[in-house]
């Protein structure tokens, strides 16, 4: 099978062949649709993370989305080393696969859980946000920070103030529910005054801190009282990240003059807590309440895209590696198809033939599960304007068109009237024009 393989720590992974995983007791094989490329994946591959594998070679990727042998679509994590998420197949504990709502695209289902669950746990499990409490997000322009802003608002926060450096992104956070924003790149005196102004008389009861370093020091200085005062509401600061610095100076006056409690993320919660958080994040995403932007990169391009993906719109893009191998193999013999809509892109027959010639030795066929229930397919104006029907695994048995659900529009399609040659595989729709 194809996989993103690290053979030397610190070197970019390459797409190469790797032995197939075999499930052991209480394990399952996942046929991977996509895997999110995150900072921790790069740290693990570089050897800089404390949990970096020491046995080489190994496959990159900590989590992703795929389907089990029975066809169930799942989000998964906890791959057994040397296997990882960035491969056509992987092996994980049965306890670490979670169902994915039908209305969610593979892209969002792969990219959202890691930052989404992290933000959810920081706001709920650690900060224990209560309705109408005021929230400050330090580092709100990153992917997880943006989600924390939205989650706080969804859960009934009173005021949500977003602090970050990217002015354009800060302005967009108003649409996610931020009541006010603070630019962290202003002079220290101005930043101090901004924190004081936005805290107001009621202060912040919850602070989610993805930065640490100087921004946190500026905030703590702003809330430090210069006079004796009655005890006010508690401020619970949850330290999540350190992108602005690994240390802070903490004067004793901060703790003696304020009701400040500093918390960490405290490691990995129990499976029940994680499962509940994932279920709630996915449910909000299925309703369109939580979103992340993604950049698609084929597995075969993992070496060239390893660094490039991380530099596209810093702080806004959730980086995603998508596997597009199986669909090509599944339609290799479908000569009637003159063009293909794959991963939202249109390929001509000539382009498709070229792809197959250069790739046919790499692709192993694993057909999608029988289409007896609602399935997802990529939306396109072409398919929306033409009537059609779905074919089964053998390409012959027709299925009613209204069984097909547009993943991005979540609406059923009207009864078909004009047949159109087509094929379906791995959540993708291929159509003749």
What's the predicted TM-score (pTM) here? 0.69
Closest CA to 411 of 388, 384, 382: 384
Residues forming CATH 3.90.180.10 domain(s) in the chain: 2-103+292-322, 115-264
Q: What number of helices (H) and strands (E) belong to the chain?
A: 13, 24
CATH superfamily of 115-264: Medium-chain alcohol dehydrogenases, catalytic domain (3.90.180.10)
Q: What is the 3-state secondary structure (H, E, C) of 265-326?
A: CCCCCCHHHHHHHHHHHHHHHHCCCCCCEEEEEEHHHHHHHHHHHHHCCCCCEEEEEECCHH
Distance, CA of 371 to CA of 399 (rounded, Å): 8
Structure tokens at 331: 């339609």
Cα angle 238, 243, 245 (rounded to 5 degrees) comes to 90
Q: What is the pLDDT of residue 269?
A: 86
pLDDT for res 99 = 93
Q: What would the two tokens of residue 130 be?
A: 């209560």
> In this structure, how many other beta carbons lie within 10 angstroms of the beta carbon of residue 280?
18
- Pair 420, 401: CB distance under 8 Å: no
Q: Which CATH superfamily is domain 2-103+292-322 in?
A: Medium-chain alcohol dehydrogenases, catalytic domain (3.90.180.10)
Burial 150-187 (b: 16+ CB within 10 A, else e): bbbbbbebbbbbbbbbbeebbeebeebbbbbbbebeee
C-beta of residue 121 within 8 angstroms of C-beta of residue 277: yes
> What is the 8-class DSSP label of residue 80?
P
Positive or negative torsion for Cα 93, 407, 344, 168: negative
The total of other beta-carbon atoms located within 10 Å of residue 374's CB is 12
pLDDT along the chain (433 residues), means of 10: 92 93 96 89 86 89 93 93 94 94 89 94 96 97 95 97 92 94 94 94 95 95 79 89 91 91 88 92 94 86 72 31 40 40 43 48 31 30 31 36 29 31 38 35
Phi then psi dihedrals of residue 256, to 5 deg: -85, -20
Place of tokens 């931020």: 178
Sign of CA dihedral 55, 60, 61, 64: negative
| Sign, CA torsion 273/279/285/291 | positive
CA distance 60 to 48: 14
Determine contact, residues 34/320, Cβ cutoff 8 Å. Answer: yes
**What is the C-alpha separation between 110 and 363, in angstroms, rounded?**
22
Gyration radius (Cα) of the chain, Å: 24
């Amino acid at each position: 099978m194809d996989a993103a393989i690290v053979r030397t720590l610190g070197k970019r992974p390459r797409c190469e062949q790797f032995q197939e995983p075999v499930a052991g007791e209480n394990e399952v094989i996942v046929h991977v649709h996509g895997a999110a490329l995150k900072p921790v994946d790069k740290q693990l591959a570089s050897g800089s993370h404390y949990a970096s594998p020491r046995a080489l070679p190994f496959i990159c990727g900590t989590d992703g989305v795929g389907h089990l042998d029975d066809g169930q679509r799942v989000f998964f994590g906890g791959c057994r080393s040397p296997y990882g998420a960035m491969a056509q197949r992987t092996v994980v504990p049965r306890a670490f696969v979670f169902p994915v709502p039908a209305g969610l695209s593979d892209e969002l289902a792969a990219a959202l859980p890691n930052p989404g669950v992290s933000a959810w746990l920081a706001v709920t499990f650690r900060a224990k946000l209560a309705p109408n409490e005021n929230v400050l997000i330090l580092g709100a322009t990153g992917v997880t920070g943006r989600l924390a802003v939205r989650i706080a608002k969804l859960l009934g926060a009173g005021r949500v103030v977003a602090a970050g450096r990217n002015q354009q992104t800060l302005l967009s956070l108003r649409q996610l529910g931020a009541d006010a924003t603070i630019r962290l790149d202003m002079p220290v005196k101005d930043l101090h005054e901004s924190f004081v102004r936005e805290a107001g008389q009621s202060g912040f009861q919850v602070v989610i801190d993805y930065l640490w370093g100087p921004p946190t020091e500026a905030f703590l200085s702003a809330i430090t009282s210069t006079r004796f005062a009655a005890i006010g509401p508690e401020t619970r600061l949850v330290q999540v990240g350190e992108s602005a610095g690994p240390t802070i100076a903490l004067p004793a006056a901060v703790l003696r003059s304020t009701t400040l409690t500093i918390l960490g993320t405290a490691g990995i919660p129990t499976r029940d807590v994680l499962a509940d958080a994932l279920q709630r994040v996915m449910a909000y995403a299925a309703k369109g309440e939580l979103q992340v932007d993604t950049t698609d990169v084929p597995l075969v391009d993992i070496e060239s895209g390893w660094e490039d993906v991380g530099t596209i719109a810093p702080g806004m893009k959730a980086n995603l590696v998508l596997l597009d191998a199986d669909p090509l193999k599944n339609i290799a013999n479908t000569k009637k198809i003159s063009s293909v809509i794959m991963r939202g892109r249109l390929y001509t027959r000539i382009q498709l033939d070229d792809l197959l010639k250069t790739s046919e030795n790499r692709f192993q066929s694993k057909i999608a599960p029988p289409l007896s229930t609602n399935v997802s397919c990529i939306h396109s104006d072409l398919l929306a304007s033409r009537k059609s029907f779905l074919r089964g695994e053998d390409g012959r048995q027709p299925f009613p068109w209204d069984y097909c659900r547009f993943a991005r529009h979540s609406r059923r399609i009207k009864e078909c009237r004009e047949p159109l040659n087509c094929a379906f595989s791995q959540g993708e729709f291929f159509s003749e024009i």
